[in-house]
């Protein structure tokens, strides 16, 4: 594995795991609930409402699912920087734009199609919740973009 691939892998791992973990904390603050409730809610995407009654195994599943989704989201951004290196160079703008994309994909595609909903529907709109959740996704995008920029600068030097 060359230096560039190693750096890209590090950006995916660090960006995905850190952003995903912080996202759990953001959801906890936004909803004023225990992080375990957030993890059960994530697991409900696969298990449905039963996840809230499954205890620790369901919470662990929620954490694994959160990190898996976060790694995929980070990988998409990192891989997008190959054909579009401006995303790494202008990482703040790229990260904020990606945060907006993440927000809409998660809220209008992933969650409505998950088992968390008895039947698919659009999320309930409130200006406050919209703003809080959008800020959380902007932060998520910035974290991923930051680690991508770092890997682009340090990975390029290693591979020369």
CA distances from 11 to 79, 93, 146, 153, 155 (A): 10, 17, 9, 11, 10
Tell me how many degrees the CA angle 26-30-35 measures, rounded to the nearest 5. Answer: 60
pLDDT of residue 112: 85
Q: What does the pLDDT look like over 8-19, one tens digit per residue?
A: 999 999 999 999
66 burial (CB, 10 Å; 0-12 / 13-18 / 19+) is buried
pLDDT of residue 115: 76
What tokens does 72 get? 């995929």
CB 143 within 8 A of CB 15: yes
pLDDT of residue 121: 53
pLDDT of residue 114: 83
- 61: Cα separation from own chain's centroid: 16
pLDDT of residue 160: 32
Residue whose structure tokens are 């959740």: 133
Neighbouring C-beta atoms of residue 54, cutoff 10 Å? 16
What tokens does 14 get? 């660090």
CA distance 50 to 62: 13
pTM assigned to the model: 0.88
What tokens does 1 get? 């594995």
Q: What is the pLDDT along the chain (160 residues), one digit of tens a residue?
A: 677 788 899 999 999 999 999 999 999 999 999 999 999 999 999 999 999 999 999 999 999 999 999 999 999 999 999 899 899 899 999 999 999 999 999 988 888 888 776 555 555 678 999 999 999 999 999 999 999 999 887 654 443 3
pLDDT of residue 117: 64
CA distance 127 to 116: 22
């Amino acid at each position: 594995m060359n230096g560039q691939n190693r750096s890209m892998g590090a950006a995916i791992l660090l960006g995905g795991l850190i952003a995903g973990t912080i996202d759990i904390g953001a959801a906890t603050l936004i909803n004023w609930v225990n992080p375990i409730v957030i993890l059960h809610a994530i697991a409900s995407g696969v298990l449905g409402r039963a996840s809230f009654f499954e205890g620790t195994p369901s919470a662990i599943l929620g954490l694994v699912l959160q990190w898996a989704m976060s790694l995929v989201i980070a990988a998409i951004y990192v891989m997008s920087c190959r054909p579009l290196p401006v995303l790494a160079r202008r990482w703040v703008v790229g990260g904020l734009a990606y945060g907006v994309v993440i927000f809409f994909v998660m809220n209008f595609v992933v969650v409505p199609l998950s088992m968390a909903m008895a039947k698919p529907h659009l999320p309930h709109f409130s200006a406050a919740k919209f703003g809080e959740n959008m800020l959380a996704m902007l932060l998520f995008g910035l974290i991923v973009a930051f680690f991508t920029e770092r890997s682009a600068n340090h990975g390029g030097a290693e591979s020369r």
